[in-house]
Structure formats: structure tokens, C-alpha cells
A and B are shown apart, each in its own frame.
Chain A
Amino acid sequence: MVHSPDVLKKAPTGIDGFDEITGGGLPQGRPTLVCGGAGCGKSLFATEFLIRGALQFHEPGILMTFEETTDDIKKNVASLGFNIADLVARKKIFIDYVRVERSEIEENGEYDLEGLFIRLDHAIKKIGAKRVVLDTIETLFAGLANQAILRAEVRRLFNWLKDRGMTTVITGERGEGALTRQGLEEYVSDCVVLLDHRVNGQISTRRLRVVKYRGSTHGTNEYPFLIDEDGISVLPITAAGMDYAVSTERVSTGIPELDQMLGGKGYFRGSTILLSGSAGTGKSSVAAYLADAACKRGERCMYFSFEESASQVIRNMKSIGVNLEPHVRKNLFRFHATRPTVHGLEMHLALMHKMIEEFKPTVVILDPVSSIQNAGTLEDSTSMLLRLVDFLRRKRITGFMISLTSAANKSMEATDEGLSSLVDTWLLLRDVELGGERNRLLYVLKSRGMAHSNQVREFVITSHGIRLVEAYLGEGGVLTGSARLSQQNREEAERQRTKEELARKQLAMEHRRKALEVQIESLRAGFLAEQEEFAREAANSQMRDEQAEMERKAMAKSRRVR
């Protein structure tokens, strides 16, 4: 690319986001056509361009209005927080209301629009203007009959403004089959911006597109924009850029047992978590814990609710031991509740961007994303969420999305298939009905980049908080709730019984041992007695033998003597 010294200079508009998509603003010293249907915000765009030019870029401007009186304009912009009267008083802005009423004007012969030129010239000189707005010059075509003269004069006017180096915004009403009713786009060849206000399924979205920008690159997409108390914000939402750095830092889920299941440390910072589950499984509670944990670390958390109001969520969370109120007071926790059908998807996305940029949270909770899908088609909402996720990742914001799955749907895991590839961690809350009870189970379906538990845990909500109890896994499958408790009781009783049995057996054995010992003792005593008896008998027999000997000897002795 050749950079000539007279490369196109740009005049910043100061309109939030617009300068980004045009790479610096409107072509300096040239006319730009801003066109669109009634109520699309073109006059506001033009006015804001002037006011911001005067306030931020020290470029005084002329507002030549053909439709609204000076008073009307003052009122209109006052509602957007601009004090135009002050700017007029300080000679930063000059408002000239040009009234052309066909019924009051008789045309007779040749004329030109020199009067308009003189007025503009006078005003430009008076305040040293650099910017001019003509809103909307097409009114002239309604007020004056001679179209040939008008066309020539309008063309001359644009050139005249260009010669004077005025950065000009010309507004034009959108026409049938053309950008403007009077074909003004023929005369403005430098830059054309199209504003649009579309209603789709009763939901309106404002969009802006740079149709043409001679000599400059520009975003060609349609960008949603909004008009709020700060004026216009164009929200350049670029499609999936994947060049973001990832973090290895971990953030606690706020539930120690869940941290444990996620490799002992919790989520990755800046990752995206999807929690899906059917109605009433306690999804919001898990989110509240995450929010609470973040706020307790002193980080900011933004909660987008599409179903419940702020006070409702805060009250409900109090009942499970999470008090978010102090965080709200400390401005660590911000809650934004809107109905998904209030805006179109793009607008939701745009608003979220704006609020996230403003609040700078580290954790963003969307509750639930499934209702966003109600505001558009499934494809649209998936692409919108994709862009939101990309945005969050780039900002290293931990995104927590809640998805409501229909309880009737057996394959819950399939419901959020579109979202699956977007998320890093996918938690599933399921309820099981068993023994006349409904209980909740939580498990980690996937979690990229960490060793996570494969366990199915029972998810118990108490007034003290959430607990993840190891579920009973038996022959009959997973037992939860009372079934788990009764099973546990049964097992305990069984154990007790076995223990008692054992003790009893041991006692019996002892008795038996004692009995045996007694028996052994008595036997031994008998034996000893026998032994004594034998010894005594042996001694007696010896004595008898000796006596017999003695008697035999005595007898023998007596025989010899005779």
C-alpha cells in the first residue's frame, strides 16, 4: 500500500464504537451520508457527532436542521445527557433551523439556494466551525417544486462544503429501493452509513452498517447499536477470534467438594462453564456459590438473569446460606435482570458487552442461556453465545452459563450439544426419582485440561449450603436421598448384628474354654490320686515281700536248729 502524504484523514465522532469500526471516524473535510428509516436514530447520530466534536475534539459545529426547531433539538438531546444550550452559548455549536413550507412559498422563475449557502457560510465564520450537519436536507425537496434546480444546488452545496473542508454529516430518509428518497447517495461518494431499525418477531434491533467508505477499510458487518442515556453506542462484535491467552490459574467454585471433583482446585480462570439441569435442580445455587466465592476474594461478579429479579435471587440464595447483599453494597456484585424477549439477540449481546466493559467483572453468570434461545433461533443464539464466550475468554472472565434442560428429555446431554464445544467444563445436574423421592445428582461431564472426578455425587441443598455427598452405588444403581439413608441404616444394622454375634460367640468360647479347663483339672486330680494309690500299693507289696523273706529266713533258721 502506498502512503501518500494526503492519505485520508479521519474526524473522530466520539460515538462509542463507531470510530473503531471505521478505523478513526468519518472522512475529514468530506460529506458523509447517514441514512435510514424513520426513527432509526440518524438525527441523533448526527447531533452526537457535532456535540462530541465540540466537547471532545474542539471542533465547533453547525447544526442546520430542516425538521426540528432549535427548542426541539435542545429538548431531545437533553434527554440524552447533553447540554447543548451551554455549547450554543459558548459558541461551540450553532443551530440554524431552516423552515421551508411549501404552502408559504410561491415559486416564480429562476432561483438558487444561495440563501442557504450564505447562512451556512455566516455560521461557519461566526464560530469557526469544522463540522456541519444537515438534518435532513431532503425536506427541501418537499418544500420546493423545482427538482432540477434543487438537485443542482444540493450537489453544489456538498462540493462547497468539501471545498471549505467541513466534515459534514447529511442525513437522509431511506427510500424505496434506494438508500435515500432523493438519491442523495449519488452526491455523497465518500462515506455512506446506513442505520436500520428492524423488528423480528416483535423484537426490535437497531443496526448500523458502513455501506461505503471511499479510501478506507471499514467493517462491513451490520453492527447492533443502542441508544441510551449516554447517546449512541455501536457495538463492534467481531466474530470468533481465537488468539487469546489462557490461564492456568484456578478459581474455587465456592463448594469445597466440587473443587475436589475438579482436580481439587476448581475451575480455570477465564474458562467457560456450562451447568445444565432440569428445573429445580439447584443450578442457580451453584452459580450463587461461585459468585459468593469470587466476591469474597474481592473480585467482581456480574449476574445476568433472564428469569428472576435481583431481589428474588438474593432472597432465595439467603435461604441456602449465601448472602449476596453485602457484595452488592460493596459494588462487587452486580445484577442485571431482563426478559430475553425485551431485545433481539444482538442487542442482548451488545448490552452485555457494554455492561461487562463498564463493570469489569472476573466472573460472569448467565442464568439461563436456554431462555436466550427463546429470543431467536437456535443457530442464532448459539452463534451469539459463541461470540460472548470468545469475548469473555479474551477478557479472562470466567463465564458460567446455566442451561435449563427439559425434564422430559431423556438424553439431557444432547440438548446442549451446540454449547458443548464452547465450554471447557460441563457440569450436569440430574434428578432421579426413587422411592417416592426426587433427588439431585451432580457429575462432571467434561472438564478440559484437568483431572476431574468421574463420580456421580448426590447434590444436597441444606440451609447451611450445598453438600456433595458420595452417592450410594449398589446393585440397584445409584441410591439417593432417603433410599441412600435407609440403605445406610440397613448396612449399619447389619454391621451391628454381626458384631453382636461375634461377641456372643466369643463369650461362648470363653465359657467352653473355662469348662474344659475345669475338666482338665479334675482329670489331672484323678490321675494324681491313681498315681498315689499305685505308689502306695507298690510300697505295700515290697513290704509284704520283705516280711515274707524274713518269715522264710526265720523258718529256715528254725529248721536247722532241730
Chain B
Amino acid sequence: MTDELEQLYQTTYTAVVRFLYRKVWDAERAEDLAQEVFVRALAHRPDKPRAWVFAVAANLARDEARAAMRRKRHLTLLKGDPIAQPTVSPSADILVEHDERVASVQEALSTLTPRDQEILLLWDAGLSYPEIATQTGLAMGAVGTTLARARRRLVEAHDRQHAKGSHAAHS
């Protein structure tokens, strides 16, 4: 049982980190969450560990996004204080590490609906159609439809940006 999990850890850890990273955009945080996912798997011993691991990862990422929203609302930094405001933007330093091309893919991905994003990322993480269907509640037939749309939109959005970018560079 545990050996199975260990094997899963060896084979899918990187995919889980990548999956999480594409949701939280913070490499360190993605690793923390990925480890948390496997720690939980050790405690739960799920029947279908691979699908379970990604389901939990998706939930953690969702919680994370909600917490970030809350934080934005609640961390009211006071204006008019004699000293400059701190810039609390978690993604700022990460964005620096990215080159423009990466940022453009990130932006293209963000134009997709959350559902399309989710399914595309699950597919890219190596989940099969039945696994994706089970996790997202989609019908098997709808997975292909969603993936077809998501892929098209991602590439289109990216090309649009690219065209815009090169146009701006020429003018």
C-alpha cells in the first residue's frame, strides 16, 4: 500500500508540483502544497491514489486562491502613513524570473475558463479521460470536447498576443 504511494510519489511528484504551480504561480508554494498532498495521501490511503492526489491538489489550489482573494480584501494597508506602503504582491518576484514568452503563455492560459483550464492542466499532468471525467464530474464524451476547445483557445490566445507583441515591436 505504502509502496504503491511511494512509487506514485517518485513518478508524479513533479507533475503535481507543475500542476499546482500553474495555479498558484509560486514555485515554493507549489512544492509545499505538493508535499502536503502526499502527506495527506499517506494518512488517507486512497483507493485510486493518482486521481486522488490530483483531486486534492486541485482543492488545495482552490483554497489557496480563495485565501489570496480574502487577503487582498482584508490586508488593508493604511494610506497617509508617513512611510511608504509595502508592496504585497506575491507574484511580483516570480514574474521577474519569467521571460516574456512565458508570461504570454501564462496570460493565454488565464483567458480560458476555469473549467477549461482545469481539464487542460489535468490532461497535461498525465491523467486519462476516465480519471479526468471522475474528478471533474464531466461525462467521458465531454472531456474530448472540452479539451478540443481549451487547446484551440490557448493557442489562439497565445498567437493573438504574439501578433500584438510583434506588431508593437515593429511600430
Tell whether A pairs with B.
no
